[in-house]
Amino acid sequence: MGKMPVGVIDTGSNTVLGVVFRWDAEKESYRCFSMKDSLTIHAGLVRYVEGGQISQEGLQVLDDALRQIRAFFDEKGVTKIAAFATASLRGVQNFSEAAVVAGKSHFSLTLLSGEEEAQCDFAGMLQEMDWLEAAGGPRFPEKGVGLDLGGGSGQILGFIAREPSGLSDFDSFPIGCLKLKRQFVSGDGTVPTDQELEAVQKFVVEQMETLQTVKELDPLSPPAFFAMGGTVKAVVRLFNTLLWPTGREDSPGRVILRTEDLRKGLDYFRSEEGRALVDRQEPGRKETLVTGLAILSAICERLYASELTVLQAGVREGYVIRHLNP
């Protein structure tokens, strides 16, 4: 493989992403240096899954997305490419048909197990924390809870040490933004009712109760909470536009969302002004943004957390660490 750039395709329930990772000699690892090295396609594959099957229309949507990413990688001169899918296709009985579609674009599509997805999420988290600390950034705790919130599912991780063996508890839950929007929210998802959002949050909390990490929580000693995924990053960008706080003075460089602001966002982004902002700045997430805020705030409150720390890394970075780094 040498030190040529590598491409990674993350086939998710809401988005299909192609990312170019280039070799960083100083860090002795592959990393994505620029947003220009990534292409996001809001394919919404979970919409096309019914009765454990992805429809022919869904397979065509996947084919179109992968062809666009193939052209993107060709423009970047990337020839070493790895493609994987997670919850978007994990429960699909006709995954072999999706693999054939990927083959048309000369990709070999790998299906990650729930455990491997959790290990990749954790590896990405650890690397980002280490790199930020090494650069003189914020100091992170040695244990806590992580969330990778996607379109079809949410991976919740409990860790007791910042090392590969420190992942103590994890599970994948059907609490993705697009999945719960389709399950509980009527219309286009931009103006859910209070009752619909309450149903979303009740479902999220019920799912979490099966996790040992959640069962053992002490309200007087809430865990540090970290979140990854496209929705939480979009929330940060929107909050920054609004000049809402996304950090703390005592921890410069650490991106933080406060639970009280997540709750405030549930009202603001259902208003005419808020919807217009999302239309301008995050049009690909207008269907799922408010549902995502409801999910995030519900998890924060169940964890007794007053805030969450946003991490840029996640399953893709972890996949590179575990499978592509020399």
Cα 110 from Cα 167, distance rounded (Å): 23
Q: Residue 2's pLDDT band (boundaries 50, 70, 90)?
A: low
Q: How many CA atoms lie within 13 A of 305 on its CB side?
A: 26
Phi, psi at 280, each rounded to 5°: -75, -45
Share of the chain above pLDDT 70, in %: 99
The amino acid at residue 293 is: L
The model carries a pTM of: 0.93
Mean pLDDT (the chain, rounded): 94
**Per-residue model confidence as pLDDT tens digits over 11-56:** 998 899 999 999 999 999 999 999 899 999 999 998 999 999 999 9
Looking at CATH, the fold of the domain delimited by 6-111 is given as Nucleotidyltransferase; domain 5 (3.30.420)
**Per-residue model confidence as pLDDT tens digits over 76-105:** 999 999 999 987 788 799 999 999 999 999
Smallest CA-to-CA distance from 182 within 42, 12, 11, 44 is with: 44
Q: Residue 1's pLDDT band (boundaries 50, 70, 90)?
A: very low
Segment 248-252 mean pLDDT: 84
- What pLDDT is attached to residue 228? 96
Give kind and range of the element (H or E) at residue 19: strand 16-24
Domain spanning 115-314: which superfamily?
Exopolyphosphatase. Domain 2 (3.30.420.150)
Q: Where are the domains of the chain?
A: 6-111, 115-314
More confident residue, 241 or 1: 241
Segment 106-128 mean pLDDT: 94
Smallest CA-to-CA distance from 300 within 154, 151, 169 is with: 154
Segment 296-325 mean pLDDT: 96
Give SS3 for 301: helix
Q: Do domains 6-111 and 115-314 have the same CATH topology?
A: yes
Segment 61-71 mean pLDDT: 97
* For residue 236, pLDDT beyond 90: yes
- What pLDDT is attached to residue 144? 97
